Amino acid sequence: MKLSTKHNILAVSIGVVYLWFGALKFFPDLSPAEGLAKSTIHMLTFGLIPDTVSIVLLALWETTIGVFLIFNLWRRTMAVLALVHMVFTFAPLLFFPEQAFGEGPLYLTLVGQYIFKNLIIIAALLNLVDFSAENIKNKLKLKYPILSLVDLNRLGVIGERTHQKNLKKSK
């Protein structure tokens, strides 16, 4: 199934951001997020990975995701890896709340804003992954051709709304 132009634009846009932000992390003190990233990874790994190694691993992870999304390679897998990464970007809110929140209850520092903007990236990535029931049904049929003989609608694999749409299309 060919993805729409909107999906291509989303993937390339996210890929460019990942490639850019990741590439900066290869050069010491060039990324504005380097200190926060090192501190967060240090906390998440209980200091088992040296900071200099962790930032290079993060740079590799981010640039790989970026390049693969830009060139439409393993898009779904890269989107899932990016979603995993995005979950970890919220860790500083727990580990270092004083860096993310200011004096007021809803006041975000620049670090907090930097973290919360990831909600937009998460929404776009979820759009790329496509967890729709119809997509899951098609993937199951590709992986297990025998399922083509079974009415997956009646088994509850796809939702009732999707089943009703399919009925209307067939009329």
What six digits make up the tokens of 74? 């393993």
Closest CA to 75 of 143, 7, 138, 168: 7
The tens digit of pLDDT for each residue in 13-46 reads 999 999 999 999 999 999 999 999 999 999 999 9
Between CA 140 and CA 87 the distance in angstroms is 27
Among 17-26, 90-99, 121-130, 161-170, which is the least confidently predicted range? 161-170
62 class by beta-carbon count within 10 Å (0-12 exposed, 13-18 middle, 19+ buried) = buried
Do the beta carbons of residue 70 and residue 19 sit within 8 Å?
A: yes
User: Residues 57-83: what's their mean pLDDT?
Assistant: 97
The tens digit of pLDDT for each residue in 116-125 reads 999 999 999 9
Q: Is the pLDDT of residue 166 over 80?
A: no
pLDDT band at residue 66 under the 50/70/90 scheme: very high
Max CA pair span of the chain: 63
* Radius of gyration of the chain from its Cα atoms, rounded to whole angstroms: 20
The 3-class SS string of the chain reads CCCCHHHHHHHHHHHHHHHHHHHHCCCCCCCCCHHHHHHHHHHHCCCCCCHHHHHHHHHHHHHHHHHHHHCCCCHHHHHHHHHHHHHHHCHHHHHCHHHHECCCCCCECHHHHHHHCHHHHHHHHHHHHCCCHHHHHHHHHHHCHHHHHCCCCCCCCCCHHHHHHHHHHHC
| 108 phi, psi to nearest 5 deg | -105, 135
Among 102-106, 123-127, 128-132, 133-137, which is the least confidently predicted range? 133-137
- The pLDDT score that the predictor gives to residue 12 is 97
pLDDT band at residue 1 under the 50/70/90 scheme: very low
Closest CA to 85 of 127, 130, 115, 49: 115
- The pLDDT score that the predictor gives to residue 151 is 64
